[in-house]
């Protein structure tokens, strides 16, 4: 686990939602803090958070946590830009990384247990990619073997990690995680999350 690097993408401005989704509270914690604490709770020590829009406000949410924070000044170019930026920084900080775990700050139903399961499968299996399965497909949180760093670092615009995933279907192992389908992009998504919280209560 010590050689797995985490990149949490939290740079977007949440235009469709109309407020910074990273600061929305779920079960008493902001999304961005939840994302970080889930990874730390899975015993991952090398965590990098990529900030962009409203970086100072977001940084305050996690300043007390043992993570590295970087600001992508070109965050408006899209998630591909932030992922590429984060990868370059992460591999510079931790050049001996064997795996890259990519997580988003808008999947509040992800848990430390799920992160642990992804890491365990990546460590034990011979597959080079371990992804979360939901909505009949797969996506983040996910782990790439280091051999994909070069290709991932070339991403730009709105092309995220999924554009690389699609090139290697035989290299992927999937961990079912239906809750991963809820990412908060709109008011409707936020309403679903609140309903989920009420149902749990």
In this model, does residue 17 exceed pLDDT 70? no
User: pLDDT tens-digit profile of 161-178?
Assistant: 888 888 898 999 999 998
Q: Which tens digits make up the pLDDT trace of 34-49?
A: 999 999 999 999 999 9
Residues 6+ apart with CB under 8 A from 21: 12, 14, 31, 105, 106, 184, 185
pLDDT in tens, 46-68: 999 999 999 999 999 999 999 99
CA–CA distances in Å: residue 83 to residues 36, 113, 115, 121, 198: 16, 24, 19, 23, 34
Residue 198 has pLDDT above 70, yes or no: no
Residue 201 has pLDDT above 60, yes or no: no
Q: Is the pLDDT of residue 185 over 80?
A: no
**Residues linked to residue 110 through DSSP beta bridges, in sequence order:** none
Distance CA 98, CA 3 (A): 5
End-to-end CA gap in the chain: 33
Distance separating alpha carbons of residues 103 and 28, to the nearest angstrom: 20
Maximum Cα interatomic distance, the chain, rounded to a whole number of Å:
45
Domain with 100, as residue range(s), is 4-200
> Alpha carbon of 189 to those of 6, 35, 83: distances in Å?
25, 18, 24
Tell me the two tokens of residue 88.
């370059």
The structure tokens listed for 91 are: 């591999």
pTM higher than 0.85, yes or no?
yes
Q: CA-CA distance, 196 to 36, in Å (whole number)?
A: 21
141-152 pLDDT, tens digit each: 999 999 999 999
121: domain CATH number is 3.90.550.10
pLDDT of residue 1 exceeding 70, the answer is no
Chain segment 59-109, per-residue pLDDT in tens: 999 999 999 999 999 999 999 999 999 999 999 999 999 999 999 998 889
How many domains does the chain divide into? 1
pLDDT of residue 199: 59
Q: Select from 50, 79, 78 the least CA-distant residue to 62.
A: 50
């Amino acid at each position: 686990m010590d050689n797995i690097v985490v990149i949490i993408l939290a740079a977007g401005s949440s235009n469709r939602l109309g407020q910074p989704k990273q600061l929305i509270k779920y079960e008493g914690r902001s999304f961005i803090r939840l994302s970080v604490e889930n990874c730390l709770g899975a015993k991952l020590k090398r965590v990098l958070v990529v900030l962009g829009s409203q970086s100072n406000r977001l940084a305050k949410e996690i300043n007390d946590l043992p993570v590295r924070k970087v600001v992508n000044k070109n965050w408006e170019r899209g998630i591909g830009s932030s992922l590429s930026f984060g990868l370059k920084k992460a591999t510079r900080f931790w050049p001996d990384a064997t795996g890259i775990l990519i997580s988003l700050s808008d999947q509040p139903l992800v848990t430390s247990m799920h992160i642990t399961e992804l890491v365990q499968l990546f460590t034990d299996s011979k597959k080079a990619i371990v992804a979360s399965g939901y909505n009949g497909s797969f996506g983040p949180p996910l782990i790439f073997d280091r051999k994909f760093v070069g290709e991932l670092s070339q991403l730009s615009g709105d092309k995220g990690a999924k554009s690389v995933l699609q090139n290697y279907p035989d290299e992927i192992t999937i961990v079912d995680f239906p809750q991963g389908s809820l990412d908060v992009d709109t008011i409707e998504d936020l309403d679903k999350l609140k309903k989920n919280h009420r149902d749990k209560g």
